[in-house]
Structures are given as C-alpha cells and as structure tokens.
Structure 1
Amino acid sequence: MFAEYSVPEIDRILTDDENIIIVRAANNHLIELKNIIYPEIHEKVKTSSIKTFPGFCVKQENFSYKVTIQSTEDLLSLLLMTPHYWKIKPEGIENLKKFEFLEVTISIEIDLLKRQK
C-alpha cells in the first residue's frame, strides 16, 4: 500500500492471467493531520488515470471515511507511519502534541489491473 510503482515493471512481470492491485493515498487522506503539521499544504497533482496504464483493463474504486484518533500518543504514532514525519519541521510536531484527539479522513484510491485481451 502507498508504495511507488512502475508501469513498465508491472507490464514486464504480470502474466496474462494475473492481476495487480495498486493502493494510493487520495488527496484528502489525513488532511486534518496535514493541516496541523504544515503551515501550508501543497497538493500533488495526481497523474494516475486509466491512460496511465496502457494495455491494461483497470477497475477503479475510491474509499473515504473518518476515524477518531483518541490520544496524543496515537497521533504521534500515526505521524511516524507516514512520510510526513520526515518532511515536517519541529514546529509541526509541537503543534500536533497540542491535540488529545483528532478526527482524520482516510481516503484511498484502489486500482485493479489486468491485461487487456
């Protein structure tokens, strides 16, 4: 999940009867956390679309829901599981430590790829 991928490499290793599932964070994934730890959010332009996967049949699904993280310790643990931990300034961590709980959005995009026949 959330790992980088290479369409040419998928094309090279995927046989005709195999599928691959790609799971990506959507734009609003953990948006509430980002709003706390960053002074300004710069949204990445999504480059994934059916055109990204030529020669493959793609089924796309999007899922979004909210969960409440119920302690500062769990919020910091969540932060440690993201690449944001390595990008933010110390002030971002200090801002997050002020929260005893936080409702966050989980938003993911899932693609199921199989070769077109």
Structure 2
Amino acid sequence: MSCVPFIQLTCPLEGTPLRAQGSNWRCASGHSFDVAREGYIHLLPVQNKRSLDPGDNKPMVAARRSFLNAGHYQPIAEAVSRLTLQDLATDRPYACLDAGCGEGYYLRQLQAAASTQSVSLEVLGLDISKWAIQAAAKQDKETHCTWVVGSNANIPAPPHSMDRLLCLFGFPVYSEFLRVLKPKGRLIQVDATQQHLKELREVIYPVLKEKPHAEPKIPEGFALLSSDCLEYELNLTQAETIAQLLAMTPHLYRATAEGRARAAALTTLSTQVSVVIRCFERQ
C-alpha cells in the first residue's frame, strides 16, 4: 500500500464538487480549472489573491528544495510521519492534507514511511505558491499526490473529508481545519520555538528581541493529544547551504542589508534546530 491522489476536490468559488474531465476539473455550474503540464491544479481564484505572485517565489522554493533534500530537517520529517501514521490501520485508505506543503518534502517522506507500514493514504498537497506546487509536482515520482495551488483560508475539499492534516511551519486557519477534518481526525502542527536558529539570528540582528514565553492556546474545537519539543545541532559547512537556510526563513526579508551581508559572509555555521510538534484531535 502507498499514497494515491485525493480526488474529492471542491470548487473554490462555490464549494461544490469538482469532477475531472480530461485535462481540467469542472463543477456543476461550469467553472473550469485546467491541469498544468506538470500535473498540478490551480484552484486559487484571482479575487482571492493578495498579490500577483503570493507565497514563496521561485528562488525561495529552489533554496528550500535543495536544503531539505540534503536531509537537514530529516528528524522533523521522521517525527511528523510517526505522529501522522500513529493509530492508522492497514485495512482502508486515509485522507491526508498538507496545508502549506511547499515543494512536497514532508509528503514524500510520509509516503516512504506509509509504504513501510503498509498504510494507504489519499494525499492532497496544498500551497498558495504556484512555484512551490510546480516544484512538488515535478518531484513527485512515487507519492502520486494531488497537488493544488490554493489557500488555507479556503481549502478546496469537502467538510469532514480528512483523517490527517499537516501544518508545518505554516499559517494555520483553524476554522477551515475544523471544517475539513473528520471527527477524531488529527492535526499535526510544527512551529519554531524561540531557540530555533538562534545562532543564525544572532549574526543577522544586532540585538535579539525575545518574546515572553506563553503556552500556545488550544484551538477551539480541538483537544491536545501531545506536545513535544525536538532539538538538535545543525552543522553547516558551506556558504551556499547557509544561504539556502536563510532563504527558507522570514529573516531574509526582515533583516537589514547589513545583517544579510553578515550572513552571506559565513562559510560555516553551527545552529540549533528547535521546534515544537503538537498533535490535536478534532472534537
């Protein structure tokens, strides 16, 4: 058993079912959405865009692809896969959405783990960046996911259609997550802690502004099943890899030109990866 496409897509304009017809998808009202040459579907209407090219741009996606494929965040992927597959049987398929999937790294790792455990997944990768979804579709040799350009604020899936939902370093929209998850469905969320990449941030910023620690609130409609901190040392020995890491973070744009120049001058970097991985269950 392995991953297969998720096909219960809905029209982003009306929320009604979409049906595949050759090289496009249509709803009953006649709205039509083409399948791109790379195999993904664009379900982000122009009126729902906040910019002409929302999400990560092409260079950022390329940097993330190279960095992640080198295995630097492999421990995170393994932890996410374990939580996602936990308590799943092998006698039926389960629907899984990665909300903010980027170039698909974590879904590819999940597919490998699911195959090892003989778990069948119907997989949907969703991202607001056209470049990220394009890269994910191009790299999809085994997962056979459905890759969609779309927004977490308007997930193109029916109510109560998902068994598992991933939100990794992303922008959670809990009302939508609550809508598409089945009762007892699980949300796996990964967020950076204040210690995450601290040594890199110390290079970029003259003074680090630490926010007072506060326990994150449990989203309405969910129960917290687990919360664990994952930390390890990341040792980078090439300027190109350090630049790729910076390009994956919001610090690329938040930093001053001087801060970015200091980071660009680095040829080695030892920094701490520190994330919290939480698992919620829909009530």
Q: Bigger shift: 38-47 or 7-16?
A: 38-47
Q: 2: distance between equivalents of 1:111 and 1:74?
A: 28
Within the candidate set 87, 94, 97, 2:261 is matched to 94
1:10 paired to 2:194: no
Alpha-carbon shift at residue 9 of structure 1 (Å): 2.3
Q: 1: distance between equivalents of 2:170 and 2:246?
A: 17
Aligned length: 115
Q: 2: distance between equivalents of 1:4 and 1:36?
A: 26
Q: 1: distance between equivalents of 2:181 and 2:190?
A: 17
- Aligned-pair identity in percent equals 30
Within the candidate set 13, 29, 33, 2:200 is matched to 33
Aligned to 2:219: 53
Amino acid corresponding to residue 201 of structure 2 in structure 1 = K
SS of 1:52's equivalent in the other structure is: coil
Amino acid corresponding to residue 87 of structure 1 in structure 2 = R
Aligned to 1:64: 231
Deviations 1:85-109 (A, max 9, x none): 0111110122123322010100011
Aligned to 1:104: 271
Gaps of 5+ in 1: none
Amino acid corresponding to residue 222 of structure 2 in structure 1 = F
Gaps of 5+ in 2: 1-167
Aligned to 1:79: 246
Which structure has more RCO (C-alpha within 8 Å, separation ≥ 6)?
1
Q: Give TM-score, length-normalised by structure 1.
A: 0.86
Q: Bigger shift: 87-96 or 11-20?
A: 11-20
Q: Give TM-score, length-normalised by structure 2.
A: 0.38
Alpha-carbon shift at residue 47 of structure 1 (Å): 5.6
Deviations 1:16-70 (A, max 9, x none): 1311111101111000000000112223456653x43244221111101111011
- Structure with higher Rg: it is 2
Structure 1 residues 13 and 48, CA gap change in structure 2 (3 angstroms): farther
Q: 2: distance between equivalents of 1:111 and 1:46?
A: 17
SS of 1:109's equivalent in the other structure is: strand
SS of 1:21's equivalent in the other structure is: strand
Q: Bigger shift: 89-98 or 20-29?
A: 89-98
Q: 1: distance between equivalents of 2:176 and 2:282?
A: 13
Q: 2: distance between equivalents of 1:45 and 1:111?
A: 20
Amino acid corresponding to residue 3 of structure 1 in structure 2 = G
Aligned to 1:21: 188
